[in-house]
Structure 1
């Protein structure tokens, strides 16, 4: 098979069983798909502004929060521009949609700031753990308390764990008292609630607390 033969694949250097024009079409489609894969999506603006608002009529709130009423879109945009402001659609699902006279640049900045704060508060709650022992001393209790308080202040829940080994397993009531006393110690500085009371599996005892 020669390179001039229409069944020759220039990229693979071998016979493919396809005519040359079919090969070219196939390679073009592959390149097109590859490019589309890496194209970034253009995000739609969160709020429509001025001429981007397509409804024939809109309900207006002015820059002072006064409800002006329903106006034709052209008149509403003109009034916004006369005030040196923009017409911003703030409630598109209403009929007619609600728009407000705003400085859109300032409004957009405030919205982005609000979104960042909401994302920060939407932190996923995790369960962190602190481990006690049956004969834990006051110094170690204070360390565990500080750890638990830090977790709680960060918005996480805290699982208090106590492991009984060997002969200690006969002292489950004492272990339970140690755990509840620890919760009371934490409550002195951080308001907490018990989400799951003490449960026992073998020699492992746990309870779960969260900040109220």
Structure 2
């Protein structure tokens, strides 16, 4: 939790706009009156908007507020993982059946909202025929043209030819 949120006696302003435990506006009160109201309710005085004039505070249960903020942050982190980059590697001598299986898996990744890096690796003498790798990328792109678009042109990096695709 961020350290900038002040509670109870840590609040410095002399006048505060106070919001009650059930969300009702209690008006502008002195710091002492607001602390007294929070204490009577058995709750904490939490500074919600310190930059407002006067600062806005709310009478709430601090531990419950912290817990809700933590859960909200976890939910946001979980939903951000959707755009992950998956990778599928192809050898130059791949058979049609194996290619179909790998392309089916690539389509599943695309449906789930992931980007996919298609990587063709060259072994030994295959490096002398890199043009065949570019042809293979074109063939894969035409097989996936209904489902995906290329993000950039194929690039060589060492012994690998790769391209990133995303769903349409």
- TM-score under structure 1 length normalisation: 0.56
Unaligned runs of 5+ in 2: none
- For the 8 Å contact 1:169–1:203, the answer to whether it is kept is no
Aligned to 2:58: 100
Aligned to 2:31: 73
What CA deviation, in whole Å up to 9, does each residue of 1:69-101 have, x standing for no partner?
Answer: 322111122223333332111122223221112
Aligned to 2:163: 207
> Which whole-Å CA distance do the structure 1 matches of 2:2 and 2:159 have between them?
57
Of residues 128-137 and 194-203 in structure 1, the stretch that sits farther from structure 2 once superposed is: 194-203
Candidates 76, 81, 96, aligned match of 1:137: 96
Q: CA RMSD in A?
A: 3.9
| Deviation, structure 1 residue 171 | 4.4
Q: What secondary structure does 2:154 align onto? A: strand
Aligned to 1:3: none
> Which whole-Å CA distance do the structure 1 matches of 2:91 and 2:139 have between them?
8
Q: How does 1:119-134 map to 2 (within 5 A)?
A: 119-120=77-78, 127-133=85-91
> Which whole-Å CA distance do the structure 1 matches of 2:99 and 2:26 have between them?
66
- For the 8 Å contact 1:59–1:68, the answer to whether it is kept is yes
- Equivalenced residue count is 163
| Deviation, structure 1 residue 55 | 1.1
- For the 8 Å contact 2:17–2:55, the answer to whether it is kept is yes
Residues 193, 69 of structure 1: alpha-carbon distance in 2 compared, 3 angstrom cutoff: farther
Aligned to 1:180: 141
Q: What secondary structure does 2:36 align onto? A: helix
> Which whole-Å CA distance do the structure 2 matches of 1:202 and 1:45 have between them?
47
